[in-house]
């Protein structure tokens, strides 16, 4: 099981929308790894910036080691080269003309070989995020290579992060980067997450509410959108970000 901390959780990396969770940008070491085979799991945990980000309410969790919460757990079904991902998952393409509270804004399908800069380098499609430029694309497209597609996943929203017992703490990645866990408690942990999601009424998918409402996504609209301050909304519209 891969384990890492998520610096920015904005429905972009990972992207849990349209009924399938995908990791198509950031974390290139995971996306290209020969260890990311079908059946390998990925666990993403909260980091200090996740806890304290303005757009997520500020200071909603304790920001110190030993208090990380689970953002998502997902099982890899496919490793798809990014050019193939562009063709097969058009619904995951980002649209720069909508707001952060729309599923189309959060699309992580932003790279393909036909879109290049003047020097011929593949660059991201225009998508109002912080993935512009050839150097970022080199990391994402050339180095990362693939999109990881996960059809069984449990994505716990910002109002519903999953606390885990201390017994499972050895599975939490402790620093930057990522680690490949092989502890024998992984199977028990997976069952713990599954059962926790079921208790919240979710067999598979998004657990909680997110600020998105768009047809055919099976996503409920976040009830507190009106409570977000306009200046905070504007500040975060053009920056998705991700864990490097």
Q: Over range 105-134, report the average pLDDT.
A: 75
Percent of the residues in the chain that have a pLDDT greater than 70, as a whole number: 73
Per DSSP bridges, beta strands 146-150 and 205-207 are unpaired
Backbone angles phi, psi at 79, to 5 degrees: -110, 110
What is the rounded distance in angstroms from the CA atom of residue 236 to the CA atom of residue 78? Answer: 31
Q: If you average pLDDT over every residue of the chain, what do you get?
A: 79
Choose between 159 and 79: higher pLDDT: 79
What is the rounded distance in angstroms from the CA atom of residue 103 to the CA atom of residue 16? Answer: 10
Distances (CA, A) of 63 to 25, 44, 46: 25, 16, 9
Choose between 18 and 178: higher pLDDT: 178
Choose between 217 and 97: higher pLDDT: 97
Identify how many contiguous H helices and E strands the chain contains and give both numbers. 6, 9
Residue 189 pLDDT level (bands cut at 50, 70, 90)? very high
The whole-number pLDDT of residue 241 equals 52
For 45-56, what is each residue's pLDDT tens digit? 998 766 554 444
Choose between 11 and 156: higher pLDDT: 156
């Amino acid at each position: 099981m891969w384990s890492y901390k998520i610096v920015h959780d904005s429905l972009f990396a990972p992207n849990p929308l349209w009924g399938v969770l995908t990791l198509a940008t950031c974390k290139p070491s995971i996306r290209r790894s020969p260890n990311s085979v079908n059946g390998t799991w990925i666990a993403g945990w909260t980091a200090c910036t996740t806890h304290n980000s303005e757009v997520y309410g500020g200071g909603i969790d304790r920001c110190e080691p030993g208090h990380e919460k689970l953002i998502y757990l997902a099982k890899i079904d496919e490793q798809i080269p990014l050019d193939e991902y562009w063709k097969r998952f058009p619904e995951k393409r980002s649209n720069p003309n909508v707001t952060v509270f729309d599923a189309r804004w959060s699309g992580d399908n932003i790279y393909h070989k036909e879109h290049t800069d003047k020097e011929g380098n593949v660059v991201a499609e225009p998508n109002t995020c912080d993935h512009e430029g050839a150097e970022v694309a080199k990391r994402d497209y050339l180095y990362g290579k693939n999109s990881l597609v996960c059809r069984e996943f449990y994505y716990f929203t910002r109002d519903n992060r999953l606390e885990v017992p201390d017994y499972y703490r050895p599975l939490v990645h402790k620093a930057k980067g990522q680690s490949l866990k092989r502890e024998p408690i992984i199977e028990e942990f997976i069952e713990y997450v599954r059962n926790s999601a079921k208790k919240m009424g979710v067999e598979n998918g998004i657990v909680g509410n997110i600020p998105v409402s768009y047809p055919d996504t099976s996503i409920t609209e976040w009830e507190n959108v009106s409570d977000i301050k306009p200046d905070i909304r504007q500040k975060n519209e053009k920056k998705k970000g991700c864990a490097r």
